[in-house]
Amino acid sequence: MALWYKAWLESRTRFLASALVLALYCVSFVAQARIGFPPVFDPHLPYSTFVWRGIYNGIDTLLFVVVALMLGLGGLRRERANGTAEFTLALPVTRVELLQSRVMVAMIQVAALAVIPAIVVPPLSARIGHPYPVSHAVRFAVLFAASGAVWVAAGVVWSAIITAEHTAAVAVLATPVVYRAIVGGTRLNRWPSANLFNVMSAARLDVLDARTSLFAAGLPWPLVLMLLAVALGLLGASAVMAGRDDF
C-alpha cells in the first residue's frame, strides 16, 4: 500500500484539480439548462440529447482525454530527470511493481472522473424539472472509463519513452489531436469503434438511439473488453521498456 500512497501523492494535484473542473463544468451546464433549455433554434430537442451534446459529446470529453493521458505520466524516467530516482530504486521493490502501483492508482482515478457526470447531472437535472436517467449516465461512465484506460496506458507509454517532463506534456497534448486526425483521415473512419471519441460518446454505435441520444440497447461489452485488452497491451509494452532501463 505504501507504493499506492506514493503514486497518489505524485498525482493527487492533477486528479483533484481535474475532478473539480469536471464537476464544475457539469454543474454549470445543468444550471444554464434551467434557462437555456429548450434552445430557441430547436424547441423540440429532447433534454437527453441536449445533455449528450453538452456532457458526453462536448468539450469536456477532450478535457477527460488529456487528463487521462496526464495521469499516465510519471515513473522512474521522470524521477531520474527530477533527481529522485535513486531514492525510489533503493526501495525493496521491483521496477514492475512500481509501475503496477502507479498504473492502478491512475486507473482508479480515471474511473472516478468518468463517474462524476453520472453523480452530478441526473440529480441536478431532476431539480430543474428535466429528469435524466441515472442508468444511462452510468453506461456512459463505463464507456468513459474503458476509453480512459486506453488513454492512461498511452500516457504510461509516453513516460517510458520520453524522459523530459515538458516534452512528455507536449506529447500528451498532441496525442488526441494527431490520433483524431489519423482516424478521421484514413480508412479507420469506416469503423466507429476505432475512434475512442466515438466510443466515449457512443456516437455512430448501434447501441445509441439517434433521436433521444439514450441507449437503445445494453452496453457493447465486447467493445469494452477489447479496449481493456488494448490498454493491457500498451501497459505490457511499457513494463518491458521499464524492465530494460539500466539506471
Q: Where are the domains of the chain?
A: 2-35+45-244
Least confident of 20-29, 113-122, 232-241: 232-241
Mean of per-residue pLDDT scores for the chain = 85
pLDDT, residue 242, reads: 65
Least confident of 32-41, 60-69, 189-198: 189-198
Query: Confidence class of residue 127 from pLDDT cuts 50, 70 and 90?
Result: very high
Q: Could you count the other beta carbons within 10 Å of the beta carbon of residue 231?
A: 22
pLDDT, residue 247, reads: 46
Residue 21 has pLDDT above 90, yes or no: yes
Least confident of 6-15, 76-85, 188-197: 76-85
Are 152 and 68 in contact by the 8 Å Cβ rule? The answer is yes
Burial of 115 (0-12, 13-18, 19+ CB in 10 A): middle
Residue 88 has pLDDT above 60, yes or no: no
Least confident of 6-20, 29-43, 96-110, 162-176: 162-176
Q: Is the peptide bond before 92 cis (omega within 30 degrees of 0)?
A: no
Residue 243 has pLDDT above 70, yes or no: no
Cell of 38: 429548450
pLDDT, residue 45, reads: 93
CA distances from residue 183 to 140, 153, 176, 235 in whole angstroms, order as listed: 22, 19, 10, 22
Across the range 8-18, mean pLDDT stands at 88
Q: Could you count the other beta carbons within 10 Å of the beta carbon of residue 60?
A: 20
Sign of the Cα pseudo-torsion (113, 118, 127, 211, in order): positive
pLDDT, residue 87, reads: 47
Length of the chain as a residue count: 247
- 23-40 residue pLDDT tens: 999 999 999 999 888 888
The neighbouring-strand residues paired with 222 are none
